[in-house]
Structure formats: structure tokens, C-alpha cells
């Protein structure tokens, strides 16, 4: 089994000793993305703005591997507060219109850099 590190400057750099994504065969394992804007290296906005940025970051990592959001088969959403569940879903459903991936959502006590949301993903990419 070959493993290839996937990375892009169009998504924020890892905030620890891990890769943005690892590709093996047709699977792409994307590390949790937080809402850091790669152009400013800042986190800003409410849960909806942060969810948009996280999904844009996921899209950028997928593109670096030759994939798109439609290739995602599973996500895990980490929320600082489950009170944000409905607002996060309003944005999330705009990115996954047809055949949304399987998903788990959990509330956590903290997310790096004080973010409100983090999302990790598994995709099947043919390139």
C-alpha cells in the first residue's frame, strides 16, 4: 500500500505534526479542518461563516488530490456547542446537495485556536 501526503497552500497549514490529507489507493483521509482563512491565517465570524470556511478548506484539500466535495463518503463534525447544530446544517446542506455523505456530529469541549467547528472527511478519489 502506497501512502501519499496531500497538501495545498489554499487551505491552512497543519497546526500540529500531521498532514492535511493522506491518499492511499483511492481513499483520501482529510485531517480535521478548522475555519482558518489561508490568506489571512485568521478565524472570524459566527458558526455559519466558520462552517463555510471549513468546507472551503476541505474543498481545497480535495482539489489538491484531484477530487471534489462530491467524492466525500464520510464526515465527522466537531462543534463547540450543539446549540449551533441547526445553523451549521444550514450551511452544510448548501455544500452537499445531492447524495450527502454519511456523517457524525459531536459536541467537544474545545477546538484548536478557539474555533466553533472542525470537520474531517474521508473521500474516494479516482485520480
Q: How confident is the model at residue 1 (pLDDT cuts 50, 70, 90)?
A: confident
H or E, element range at 14: none
Q: What predicted TM-score, i.e. pTM, was given to this entire model?
A: 0.96
CA 73 – CA 48 distance, rounded (Å): 22
- Mapped to the 3 state alphabet, what secondary structure does 36-76 carry? CECCCCECCCCHHHHHHHHHHHHHHHHHHCCCCHHHEEEEE
Instruction: Catalogue all structural domains in the chain, each as residue range(s) with its CATH number.
Output: 3-124 (3.30.1330.40)
Tens of pLDDT, residue by residue over 98-127, are 999 999 999 999 999 999 999 999 999 986
Side by side, the strands of the sheet bearing 72-79 are: 3-6, 21-24, 27-33, 117-124, 72-79, 102-107
Amino acid at each position: 500500500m502506497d501512502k501519499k501526503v496531500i497538501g495545498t497552500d489554499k487551505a491552512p497549514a497543519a497546526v500540529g505534526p500531521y498532514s492535511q490529507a493522506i491518499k492511499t489507493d483511492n481513499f483520501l483521509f482529510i485531517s480535521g479542518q478548522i475555519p482558518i482563512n489561508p490568506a489571512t491565517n485568521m478565524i472570524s465570524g459566527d458558526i455559519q461563516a466558520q462552517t463555510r470556511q471549513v468546507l472551503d478548506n476541505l474543498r481545497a484539500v480535495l482539489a489538491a488530490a484531484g477530487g471534489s466535495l462530491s467524492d466525500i463518503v464520510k464526515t465527522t463534525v466537531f462543534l463547540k456547542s450543539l446549540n449551533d447544530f441547526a445553523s451549521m446544517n444550514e450551511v452544510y446542506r448548501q455544500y452537499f446537495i445531492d447524495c450527502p455523505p454519511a456523517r457524525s456530529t459531536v459536541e467537544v469541549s474545545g477546538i484548536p485556536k478557539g474555533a466553533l467547528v472542525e470537520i474531517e472527511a474521508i473521500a474516494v478519489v479516482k485520480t
